[in-house]
Amino acid sequence: MSLGISLTQYVIQIITGLGEGAVLFLVASGLTLIFGALRVINFAHGSLFLLGAYITASIADKWAFANWNFWLLILIGGIALAAASIPLEVFFFRPIYNRALLTQLLVTFAFVLVITGVVREVWGNDGRAITQPPFLKGNVDILEGGVRKVEFFFMALAIIVGILLWAMLYKTGLGRMIRAAVSDPELLGLTGVNIKILFTGVFVLGVLFAGIAGGAVSLRGFIVPGMAIDAIIKAFVIVVIGGLGSLGGAFIAAMLVGVASAIGILWVPPAAIAIVFAVLVAVLVLRPQGIMGTRGN
Amino acid sequence: MTEADMTEAETTEAETPEAEVTETAASATLEVKGLNAFYGKSQVVFDLDLHVEPGESVAVLGRNGAGKTSMLMAIAGVVASRAERLTLGGVDLSRLPSFKRVQAGVSLVPSGSRSFPNLTVDENLSMVRSGKQRNGGIEWTVDDAYKQFPVLADLKNNSAGTLSGGERQMLAVARAMVANPMLLMLDEPSEGLAPMIVKGIATRLREMAGQGIGILMTEQNHRLALEVADRVYFIEKGQSVWEGDATAAADPSVLSQYLSV
Ligand SMILES: Nc1ncnc2c1ncn2[C@@H]1O[C@H](COP(=O)(O)OP(=O)(O)O)[C@@H](O)[C@H]1O
Ligand SMILES: [Mg+2]
């Protein structure tokens, strides 16, 4: 299957795909956290990711990404987005937790339109450039080509965030409550836990991940409004492939989807997303419950 | 089914079984007067009166669909309700959200031996929010629960989803125990369990009652209920139709009138 594509191109695309997968993992981990505990399918998650990118970019306009502060600016952007999402949860998501899927879809889709509209209105349709921190500019040379340095930063970030999230879920009391909410929220309430507050916390945490992912992506130096739809589609595929609610599954699936779409760009640029769906179908045929999902869940 | 039976048998109250226990839980009476419970607009419990004294075991019996589960869920604050009076130890529960009722001393073991299957046995027990502020009362810890249910200690690190039905019900009772309730409510605790397991659970419940905890349980099947309960209510279509002590309730004619289908 050479199609005149060199080994170098394949290697570069695979590595770039892993970087893309790392960003997707950050987006998908927030999505799977929210879905797992709150049972709400949040189509606006990709739009929140987009908003996170633009908020961080605006912060970087003011203070400029430097080698020492870029992580701080990303964190501030993520926290700002997470804080703004508190009223969103309280007024719009809380009422739809136990509603039909269609209701959830309509409400969350309304926010896709609203948020995307706001981004286009405030920051324009054409995307915008951001000055990168100096040490993330340029490429790392590989064979006869190069991979953007930021892609390696994304990989490192995904690993760190993944470990922190895992430790939070499995080593802390809060994580234990979140996992309990995933299996039986009513019983958790009967255990004396304030479910409303817990759910707000989980939602805000999921949005924080979207915001951090968005902020990280702005380090590529260029962001466009179309990122929202691309991210939400791929994040959904990742959550399904990985097994609903599974963190490890989401990580593997994110890498798979990132690499598949990067290779897809090499083969059939306009239809790269089709490759992602081909991976989805293949995984679901082989393992209907997803990579790490448990049957009957 | 005759309305005449609502003129219930004498309620014998001052009948606390183990009168002198050295260590007791802080005690509190559950008082329910005129309880109505609703699912949306449809009302399923009507004007129910009920009380559970400290150390007393009370069973609510009735056919499937009579409203037993709804009644417990209403007291626990999960199902919407309105009551003239709903207090535990004088504390008004009716305004509290369900998690605060737990902290106020109400613990419900729902039917079906529910636990968190994706958590380990130990995590299931250690996550319980104990109502700590029991001045002068005993306090059960997770270790005490393991002493009461040694099977669970052996399964400590297994995920609860791998337990057998009996083990899961022990876990459910152990969870309620470490919540240190003043009122322990159990919805059909013997449902689907082997007689041996039911016996063990009955023993635990009697011990808890002996320490001053009030017990309120529902059953369709009266086996465990009549073995543990001091007093019994029968309910039909969401209304209380008979009240009396357990010996009177065990009368075959009473049982067949209110429980046979
Ligand atoms: N979630 C619900 N929504 C609407 N009606 C319900 C619900 N749960 C139970 N019911 C109705 O409430 C009545 C009492 O049910 P329930 O309390 O479960 O009785 P029991 O526990 O005695 O079998 C029944 O008529 C039942 O159909
Ligand atoms: Mg029932």
Token pair of B119 as six digits: 């958590």
Q: Is B64 in the pocket of ligand 1 (CB under 6 A)?
A: yes
Token pair of A186 as six digits: 């009513």
Residue whose Cα lies nearest atom 24 of ligand 1: it is B65
Residue numbers of the domain that contains A48: 7-225
pLDDT digits (tens, 9 = 90+) for B183-229: 999 999 998 888 888 898 999 999 999 989 999 999 987 778 888 99
How much is the average pLDDT of A155-183? 94
Q: Smallest CA–CA separation between A281 and chain B, in Å? A: 27
Whether pTM > 0.90 for this model: the answer is: no
Who contacts B195 (Cβ-Cβ below 8 Å, separation ≥6)?
none
CA angle B61, B62, B63 (to 5 degrees): 145
Residue whose C-alpha is closest to residue A226's, from A153, A151, A124? A124
> Is the pLDDT reported for residue B177 higher than 60?
yes
Residue whose C-alpha is closest to residue B64's, from B188, B173, B229? B188
- Whether residue A179 lies inside any domain: the answer is yes
Contact A77, A52 (CB under 8 A): yes
How much is the average pLDDT of A231-236? 94
Q: The CATH number of B27-259 is which of 3.40.50.300, 3.30.70.360, 3.40.50.880, 1.10.1740.10? A: 3.40.50.300
Contact B5, B251 (CB under 8 A): no
Task: Report DSSP state, residue B241.
Answer: E
- Measured in degrees and rounded to the nearest 5, phi and psi for residue A2 equal -80, -40
Percent of chain B with pLDDT over 90: 64
Ligand 1 pocket mutation, candidates B44, B60, B72, B218, criterion most atoms within 8 A of CB: B44
- Whether residue A124 lies inside any domain: the answer is yes
Q: CB-CB: which of B78, B99, B116 is closest to A184?
A: B116
Q: Flag whether residue B245 sits within 8 Å of chain A, measured between CB atoms.
A: no
How much is the average pLDDT of A273-278? 88
d(CA A97, CA A84): 20
Percent of chain B with pLDDT over 70: 86
Alpha carbon B188 to chain centroid distance? 9
Helical H segments across A130-218, by residue range: 149-171, 173-183, 185-190, 195-217
> Is the pLDDT reported for residue B14 higher than 50?
no
Contact B105, B75 (CB under 8 A): no
How much is the average pLDDT of B144-154? 93
| Residue B30: strand, helix, or coil | strand
How much is the average pLDDT of A73-93? 96
Q: Which of A94, A191, A197, A199 has the most B C-beta neighbours within 10 Å, making it the best mutation to test the interface with B?
A: A191
- Measured in degrees and rounded to the nearest 5, phi and psi for residue B230 equal -90, -35
**So what's the pLDDT on residue B169?**
93
Q: Is B44 in the pocket of ligand 1 (CB under 6 A)?
A: yes
- Whether residue A294 lies inside any domain: the answer is no
- Residues of A with Cβ-Cβ distance to B180 under 8 angstroms: none
Distances (CA, A) of A107 to A92, A99, A201, B65, B184: 8, 11, 20, 36, 40
**So what's the pLDDT on residue B134?**
54
Residue whose C-alpha is closest to residue B117's, from B151, B79, B76, B158? B158
Q: How confident is the model at residue B76 (pLDDT cuts 50, 70, 90)?
A: very high
Atom of ligand 1 nearest to the CA of B235: 22
Q: Do A190 and B110 touch (CB under 8 A)?
A: yes
**Any idea which of A56-70, A94-108, B105-119, B132-146 has the lowest mean pLDDT?**
B132-146
Higher pLDDT, A214 or B180: A214
First and final CA of chain B: distance in angstroms? 12
How much is the average pLDDT of B88-103? 93
**So what's the pLDDT on residue B23?**
53
Residue whose Cα lies nearest atom 5 of ligand 1: it is B39
Atom of ligand 1 nearest to the CA of B238: 14
Q: Flag whether residue A171 sits within 8 Å of chain B, measured between CB atoms.
A: no
Q: Do A183 and B128 touch (CB under 8 A)?
A: no
d(CA B229, CA B221): 13
> Is the pLDDT reported for residue B3 higher than 80?
no
Identity at B135, one-letter amino acid code? N
Q: How confident is the model at residue A243 (pLDDT cuts 50, 70, 90)?
A: confident
Q: Which residue of B has its CA nearest to A198?
A: B99
Q: Which ligand is nearest to the CA of B44?
A: 1
Contact B58, B246 (CB under 8 A): no
Who contacts B66 (Cβ-Cβ below 8 Å, separation ≥6)?
B235, B236, B237, B238
Q: Is B69 in the pocket of ligand 1 (CB under 6 A)?
A: yes
Residue whose C-alpha is closest to residue A95's, from A112, A113, A107, A83? A107
Q: CB-CB: which of B78, B102, B119 is closest to A176?
A: B119
Who contacts A99 (Cβ-Cβ below 8 Å, separation ≥6)?
none
Q: Flag whether residue A158 sits within 8 Å of chain B, measured between CB atoms.
A: no
Distances (CA, A) of A226 to A46, A120, A167, B102: 10, 10, 33, 48
> Is the pLDDT reported for residue A296 higher than 50?
no
**So what's the pLDDT on residue A245?**
75
The total number of structural domains that make up chain A: 1
Q: Do A194 and B131 touch (CB under 8 A)?
A: no
- Whether residue A269 lies inside any domain: the answer is no
Which residues are close to ligand 2, an ion, with C-beta < 5 A? B 69
pLDDT digits (tens, 9 = 90+) for A171-183: 999 999 999 998 8
- Whether residue A190 lies inside any domain: the answer is yes
Burial class (CB in 10 A: 0-12, 13-18, 19+), B21: middle
Residue whose Cα lies nearest atom 14 of ligand 1: it is B67
Q: How confident is the model at residue B99 (pLDDT cuts 50, 70, 90)?
A: very high
Q: Do A179 and B118 touch (CB under 8 A)?
A: yes
**So what's the pLDDT on residue A291?**
83
Angle subtended by helix axes A247-267 and A149-171, to nearest 10: 160
Compute, in angstroms, the gap from residue B108 CA to the centroid of ligand 2: 13
Which of 97-156 (B) contact A at CB < 8 A?
97-99, 102-103, 107-108, 110, 114-119, 123, 126-129, 131
- Whether residue A260 lies inside any domain: the answer is no
Contact A17, A258 (CB under 8 A): yes
Distances (CA, A) of A182 to A203, B13, B112: 13, 44, 18
Contact A77, A214 (CB under 8 A): yes
Give the side-chain half-sphere CA count within 13 A for B135: 0
The 3 state secondary structure assigned to A69-137 is: CHHHHHHHHHHHHHHHHHHHHHHHHHHHCCCCHHHHHHHHHHHHHHHHHHHHHHHCCCCEECCCCHHHC
ipTM of this predicted complex? 0.85
DSSP string spanning B180-231?
A: --SEEEEESTTTT--HHHHHHHHHHHHHHHHTT-EEEEEESSHHHHHHH-SE
Q: CB-CB: which of A179, A186, A191 is closest to B129?
A: A191
First and final CA of chain A: distance in angstroms? 39
**So what's the pLDDT on residue A3?**
63
